[in-house]
Structure 1
Amino acid sequence: MASWSTRDGSGIASYLAHRHDPHDVGGCSSARPCRGTVATWSTRIHCRARCELSPDTLDTRCVGATVFVAFSGANWSTSAARESGIVPYINRPGGVRLHAEVTGRSDAPVVLLIQGLGTDKNGWILQRFGMATRYRTIAFDNRGSGRSTTPDEPFTLEDMADDAAAVLEHFGVTSAHVVGASMGGAISQILSVKHAALVRSLTLVCTACRNKPWRTELLRHWADTANVRGMREWANDSARWLVGPRSFRRLAPALTWLGPFATHRPSKGFTAQVDAIVSTDDSMVAELSSITAPTLVIVGNQDILTPRADSEEIAERIAHAELVVISGAAHGLMFEHASTFNPIVFDFIDRAERERRAATEPASASA
């Protein structure tokens, strides 16, 4: 679990990250839980679940592991797919080609990982290879990112949700545990409404169910920066919105070194994804109540891009959803605090799978 840092930062991001919220145990010293504690909220029950994990979950070793797998793991999984006869590209209408990779056991439950704005499948590196021992994991590049293509015509988040459904169909998967982060969380919500039968469980990470004017303005600014000054400048501009202040200070040298590798792609796909996000209206919000899959919502209490209030709204609208707030974590919590994040997600998927089997076994026995 992340440590409870009270050191002052600078700028609006640090101000927002450290502002006092009397309802937030991460920001209120009098209500602060002990180290190694995850504060968990459902819509009705307030409880705490202890995680015996290291408080310092992101350092240069994690970054090094991410780089290593990003450059070697992709080649390994592609070769494995080729040897097993699996085609890693999925053709979609409009000439779009999606690139996907499969890892893990072929006989295990399937987990579909959907990444966020401008990020490819390698954003899940610290989860994918931990999941490989217990699940069959499918990670793919959204249209406009990674090795997938960017269409000339505008597209929507609904198109991207249909892409996710097509990826599952391509690999012969009838249902999967879906994990989506940020924009990928919005896509996952649409997938769960439009293609409910495909979703065994739903994990929504650092995401929202509606646009906010300030966030729309920020995303448009990012798109302008990427178009005019390049993706490297966008990365510099956005880093403090994506990584917590403490981790940012610790990792600044490594992030600088990684910049050329992470941001060498052209801005076309990034800005097309931004357009898809900001053009989405709030009509889907009312549909969230129709989601029946077991749902886990995770947010960091230092997330200033999709703050805790966004996750609370989602958890309130989806029946029986669980809300977990990870102290000290920001928007990039899946890599910034992977050793806390991973057990929470793995435990939830395991529970959902056990409950599903328990529900189907009596029916099978009676038949």
Structure 2
Amino acid sequence: MPFAAVNGIQLFYRVDAAAGSDAPWLVLSNSLGADVSMWTPQVETLAAKYRVLRYDTRGHGRSDAPKGPYTLDQLVGDVIGLLDTLGIKRAHYCGLSMGGLTGIALAARHPERFERVVLSNTAALIGSDAIWTPRAAKAREEGGMPALADAVLPRWFTAGFMAAQPLLLSGIRDVFRHTPGEGYASNCEAIRDADAREEAKTIKAPVLVISGTHDLSTTAAQGRELAGYIAGSRYVELDAAHLSNIEQADVYTKTLLGFLGA
């Protein structure tokens, strides 16, 4: 399996590159509690035009989960370190939720490395200490992750989608349940301590902000606020909750391709 030694940890990554060795790179970054598999609905289509690089954020999936708390600086450094290790000088980027927060800082701090940036179902300031500190404590408890799955998944998807897609939901629940508790908690603390509002205002790259009309975790109002920080950004709102790339997979993929190919 492909692992990269980055910033003192092992990061798991996957590359899908049906488009060939001359195609531009596209980095996909997962949400809190997910892994590279969350991008399965998009990968085949995207890989026909791009070299698609997915990675498990530290503390998730097959990547290492060192004791935290983690910081936004670390999450940003992991992406840059992975690009450096793979010899990727410049790429497009799409991150959802926590991956979107990472994307804000990447675009602001490393403009030379990113061509077009998609910030999906995210905000420059997500939640508060009152949300993240108790959640981190719960994740570190024995049995905390299965209990959190029951609370979080109804916020990820609308009730109608959950009722219509029980098999798909069982796979997503399984990934969440087996996310390392320490890794999940440490990323909760990274999100808790991150405020990228001022950095967002400095972004010069072309940016697309995607929100979900029914998203309770990072609301459409927060998405519109984020788009307002970034001069020239585009804003799209989908009929979905938090994981809009899964709930509205076809529309999401088409929206992504339209922006990246503009």
Could you tell me which residue of structure 2 aligns to residue 20 of structure 1? none
Unaligned runs of 5+ in 2: none
Question: Equivalent of 1:310, from 211, 222, 228?
Answer: 222
Report the CA distance between 1:255 and its aligned residue: 2.8
Could you tell me which residue of structure 1 aligns to residue 252 of structure 2? 341
In structure 1, distance between residues paired with 2:171 and 2:257: 31
Report the 3-state secondary structure (helix = DSSP H, G, I; strand = E; otherwise coil) of the residue aligned with 2:165.
Answer: helix
Corresponding residue pairs, total = 259
Question: 2:158 aligned with 1:244, yes or no?
Answer: yes
Question: Equivalent of 1:272, from 175, 183, 186?
Answer: 186
Could you tell me which residue of structure 2 aligns to residue 111 of structure 1? 26
TM-score, normalised via structure 1 length = 0.67
Superposition RMSD on alpha carbons, in Å? Answer: 1.8
Question: Equivalent of 1:326, from 228, 234, 238?
Answer: 238
Question: 2:89 aligned with 1:174, yes or no?
Answer: yes
Question: Equivalent of 1:144, from 59, 74, 89?
Answer: 59
Report the CA distance between 1:265 and its aligned residue: 3.6
Question: 2:142 aligned with 1:231, yes or no?
Answer: no
Unaligned runs of 5+ in 1: 1-77, 79-87, 352-367
Question: Equivalent of 2:201, from 289, 295, 301?
Answer: 289
In structure 2, distance between residues paired with 1:307 and 1:117: 16
Question: Equivalent of 2:100, from 177, 185, 192?
Answer: 185
Give the partner amino acid of 2:257. F
In structure 2, distance between residues paired with 1:251 and 1:206: 21
The structure with more radius of gyration: 1
Could you tell me which residue of structure 1 aligns to residue 261 of structure 2? 350
Counterparts of 1:1-367 in structure 2, within 5 Å, are: 78=1, 88-93=2-7, 95-104=8-17, 105-213=20-128, 216-228=129-141, 229-252=143-166, 255-256=169-170, 259-260=173-174, 262-280=176-194, 282=195, 284-327=196-239, 329-351=240-262
Report the 3-state secondary structure (helix = DSSP H, G, I; strand = E; otherwise coil) of the residue aligned with 2:52.
Answer: strand
CA contact (8 A) 1:118 1:269 kept: no
Report the CA distance between 1:314 and its aligned residue: 1.1
In structure 1, distance between residues paired with 2:42 and 2:248: 11
Percent identity between the aligned chains? 29
CA contact (8 A) 2:56 2:63 kept: yes
CA contact (8 A) 2:34 2:172 kept: no
Runs of 4+ in 1 over 6 A off after TM superposition: none
CA contact (8 A) 1:222 1:238 kept: no
In structure 2, distance between residues paired with 1:193 and 1:129: 29
Report the CA distance between 1:262 and its aligned residue: 4.4
Report the 3-state secondary structure (helix = DSSP H, G, I; strand = E; otherwise coil) of the residue aligned with 1:211.
Answer: coil
